[in-house]
DNA sequence: TGTGGTGGTGGAGCTGCGACATCTCCGGTC
DNA sequence: GACCGGAGATGTCGCAGCTCCACCACCACA
């Protein structure tokens, strides 16, 4: 039966064209190498080397085998390496997607920690995505881990880990009377347009935000934007106010103030999701994300 | 060190998902299979099977390995098969050269037979070459097998196999008085130009043909042409007559008749040559050429 | 709580691989 | 042409490691 041992020896032998030198490189004795080649020739039924005591030359069959054996051994090595990384969960590629409101706080912290603690893990990070889109990409296998705020549609074909609940804060233009207050009552904002994430099934933030406003007796004119960054920029431009999770405070812009809401706190949950039975890397990175978010979530602002 | 044995076992195990059944299929005992899997997991550093006494399931690493191992084993099998064909002389590339007078009869028959009986052999055929040129190409390694008519210069650094002796026939213009005769005496052609192959060391036919003419008392005006095809075309054009081996009759042109010579037959030998200690394919194709020429040489004309 | 079936483990035996010594062949040299 | 040295082949032996057998541990099911 042909074994990789035969192929490994043959490749070196074909390279050296000399049994003695090849044996040294293989850390075996020359007679053993002769035996292996003989076995290989018996197994394959082809003469692989034209050899005399003076000269070792590849036959046509030998040339064919040299190429094939090299490919096979490369495939084995590559597979072995891949499996090692997979098994240790210390390397491999992980694709992470973040919802907009986690893009400016969680994302950079996670990236930093992974680079520090799992330097061989190749992170592919995408921010400013929307919850339903993230879940769809997870299910499609286009993403390994998603960090988002769950709507009603989180089914149990995904493993979901609750990271933390973040209180909503108001995003106000810097020149608003309440911009420097310790807290703001939503009713003080009556009449201002509300900048929100998209409606429909696209964002889980908008229904939450609208509900909060309605309960405070507000029915603001709504301006929808695609990204959290844009939302804050709009507020900075004086186009209205917004309601965002606390951690968006990491996104500091001139002309913008983040002010806690007075009264009973309203929170937006942040979760992490991945497919069930994840690869060790995915599990490891997930754990790191959880550690990052629980450890230093609240004091992320400056 | 990972060996193919491990991969073969793993593929079956991944297929059966049952150590006992897999061991039976592999013709080894179950504990041996457990050992192999353990080794494989140690080598790769990854857990490949989630297993209890009730259930054997592939991990993600296992799924990766199953695919890779199958590819690797397939590549090994394919290579082994290819080498077997090469070794048995049933595959490979053979470059065949034919002298002009064997181009129109032997060449097509050989090509046909090889395609039928050795479909994996890649044949590279060149016709209308001259004997000395063929031998030079053989020695240079530019050709594997040559079929030609030997001159004096066939040395013993080539293995030569006599294929057959062919009687010379006259090639006459269709309107010649003897064109429809059963035989022609050379003296009837006195005064006609003789179309021949090249002189000097280039062709072994010309000296033979001139000798035949001289012994018949002819001293014809000689017109030299490079190829046998051209020779026959010249005859068809009424430019003279020729003397060619019987098998050239396979080249039928309007306005040309092949007529046997009366009197004692004169033959031109046809031989096959290759380098000593040839690759199996070369030997096998050589045998096929010999079979073709000895079996159906004479009745090749229509 | 027994029972059957499953994968894991420990020890004995044997296969087969590799090391060593030796042989044979061949080319170069004088 | 006899000698010499280097190269691959061969014969023998020791031992690593694989396989097998017997047994263990575990779990589902009755």
Residue A299 pLDDT > 60:
no
* Residue B180 or B295, more confident: B180
Are domains B92-164+269-300 and B165-267 of this chain identical in fold? Answer: yes
pLDDT tens string A204-228: 888 889 999 999 899 999 999 988 9
Residue B300 pLDDT > 80:
no
> What confidence category does residue B296 fall into, taking pLDDT thresholds of 50, 70 and 90?
very low
Q: Which residues pair with A194 in a beta bridge?
A: A222, A241
Superfamily of domain A165-267: Periplasmic binding protein-like II (3.40.190.10)
Nearest Cα residue in chain B from A7: B76
pLDDT tens string B122-139: 899 998 888 888 888 888
> What confidence category does residue B85 fall into, taking pLDDT thresholds of 50, 70 and 90?
confident
* Record: contact B84-A277, CB cut-off 8 A: no
Report chain A residues whose CB lies below 8 A from the CB of B75. Answer: 68, 71-72, 75
Give the up-direction half-sphere exposure of residue B110: CA atoms within 13 A in the CB hemisphere. Answer: 33
- B2 vs A45, A80, A88: nearest CB: A80
* Record: contact B64-A79, CB cut-off 8 A: yes
- In which element (H, E) is residue B92 found? strand B92-99
pLDDT tens string A241-253: 999 999 899 988 8
Q: What is the C-alpha separation between A149 and B169, in angstroms, rounded? A: 97
What is the rounded average pLDDT for all residues in chain A? Answer: 86
Whether residue A247 contacts residue A158, with contact meaning beta carbons closer than 8 Å, is answered with no
pLDDT tens string B46-66: 888 878 777 788 877 788 888
Residue A133 pLDDT > 50:
yes
pTM (two decimals): 0.64
- In which element (H, E) is residue A92 found? strand A92-99
Residue A47 pLDDT > 50:
yes
- A86 vs B5, B60, B93: nearest CB: B60
Q: Which residues pair with B195 in a beta bridge?
A: B223
Report chain B residues whose CB lies below 8 A from the CB of A279. Answer: 60-61
Q: Which residues touch strand D (CB under 7 A)?
A: A 18-20, 30-31, 34-35, 37-38, 51-54, 56; B 5, 27-29, 31-32, 35-36, 39, 52-54
pLDDT tens string B8-48: 889 888 888 888 888 888 888 888 888 888 888 888 888 88
Q: Which residues of A192-223 are buried (b: 16+ CB within 10 A; e: fewer)?
A: bbbbbbeeeeebbbbbbbbebbeebebebeee
Q: What is the C-alpha separation between B236 and B171, in angstroms, rounded? A: 9
Report DSSP letters for B177-244, one per residue: TTTTSS-B-GGGGTTS-EEE---TTS-SHHHHHHHHHHHTT--PPEEE-SSHHHHHHHHHTTS-BEEE
User: What tokens does A203 get?
Assistant: 């964002």
Nearest Cα residue in chain B from A46: B87
Specify the pLDDT at position B155.
66
> What confidence category does residue B201 fall into, taking pLDDT thresholds of 50, 70 and 90?
low
Residue B297 pLDDT > 80:
no
CATH class name, domain A92-164+268-300: alpha beta
pLDDT tens string A61-94: 888 899 999 999 999 988 888 887 777 777 777 8
* Record: contact A46-B71, CB cut-off 8 A: no
Angle at B226 (CA atoms; ends B223, B232), nearest 5 degrees: 70
Specify the pLDDT at position A277.
67
* Record: contact A45-B1, CB cut-off 8 A: no
Specify the pLDDT at position A152.
60
The single residue listed with the structure tokens 């893009």 is A103
> What confidence category does residue A300 fall into, taking pLDDT thresholds of 50, 70 and 90?
very low
Q: Minimal Cα–Cα distance from A44 to chain B, Å?
A: 5
- Tell me the CA distances in angstroms from B20 to A87, A141, B3, B15, one per residue in order: 26, 34, 21, 12
The candidate with the shortest Cα–Cα distance to A271, out of A250, A288, A293, A249, is: A293
The domains of chain B are located at 4-88, 92-164+269-300, 165-267
Specify the pLDDT at position B59.
77
What is the rounded average pLDDT for all residues in chain B? Answer: 86
> What confidence category does residue B156 fall into, taking pLDDT thresholds of 50, 70 and 90?
low
> Which overall architecture, per CATH, does domain B92-164+269-300 show?
3-Layer(aba) Sandwich (3.40)
**Beta-sheet pairing, A222-224 with A159-173:** unpaired
> Which overall architecture, per CATH, does domain A4-88 show?
Orthogonal Bundle (1.10)
User: Among B83-92, B169-178, B281-290, where is mean pLDDT lowest?
Assistant: B83-92
Residue B143: which residues within 8 A CB-CB, separation 6 or more?
B95, B96, B97, B126, B134, B137
Report chain B residues whose CB lies below 8 A from the CB of A43. Answer: 80
Q: What is the C-alpha separation between B273 and B111, in angstroms, rounded? A: 17
Nearest Cα residue in chain A from B43: A80
Q: Minimal Cα–Cα distance from B259 to chain A, Å?
A: 46
Q: What is the C-alpha separation between A204 and A149, in angstroms, rounded? A: 7
**SS3 call for A155:** coil
CA(B141)–C1'(C27) in Å? Answer: 24
């Amino acid at each position: 039966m042909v074994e990789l041992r035969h192929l490994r020896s043959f490749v070196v032998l074909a390279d050296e064209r000399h049994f003695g030198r090849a044996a040294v490189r293989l850390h075996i004795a020359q007679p053993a190498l002769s035996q292996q080649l003989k076995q290989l020739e018996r197994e394959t039924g082809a003469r692989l080397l034209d050899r005399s005591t003076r000269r070792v030359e590849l036959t046509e069959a030998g040339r064919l085998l040299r190429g094939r054996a090299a490919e096979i051994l490369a495939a084995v090595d590559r597979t072995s390496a891949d499996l090692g990384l997979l098994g240790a969960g210390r390397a491999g590629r992980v694709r992470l997607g973040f919802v907009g409101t986690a893009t400016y706080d969680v994302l950079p912290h996670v990236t930093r920690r992974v680079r520090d603690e799992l330097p061989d893990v190749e992170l592919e990070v995408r921010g400013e995505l929307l919850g339903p889109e993230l879940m769809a990409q997870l299910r499609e296998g286009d993403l390994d881990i998603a960090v988002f705020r769950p709507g009603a549609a989180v089914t149990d074909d995904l493993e979901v880990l609750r990271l933390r609940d973040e209180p909503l804060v108001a995003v106000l233009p810097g020149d608003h009377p309440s911009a420097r207050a310790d807290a703001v009552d939503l009713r003080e904002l009556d009449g201002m347009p509300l900048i929100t994430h998209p409606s429909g099934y696209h964002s889980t933030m908008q229904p939450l935000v609208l509900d909060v406003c309605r309960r405070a007796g507000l029915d603001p004119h709504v301006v929808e934007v695609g990204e959290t960054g844009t939302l804050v920029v709009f507020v900075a431009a004086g186009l209205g106010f917004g309601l965002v999770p606390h951690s968006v405070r990491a996104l500091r812009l001139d002309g913008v103030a983040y002010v806690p809401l007075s009264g009973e706190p309203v929170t937006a949950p942040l979760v992490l999701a991945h497919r069930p039975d994840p690869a060790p890397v995915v599990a490891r990175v997930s754990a790191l994300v959880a550690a990052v978010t629980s450890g230093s979530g609240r004091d992320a602002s400056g």
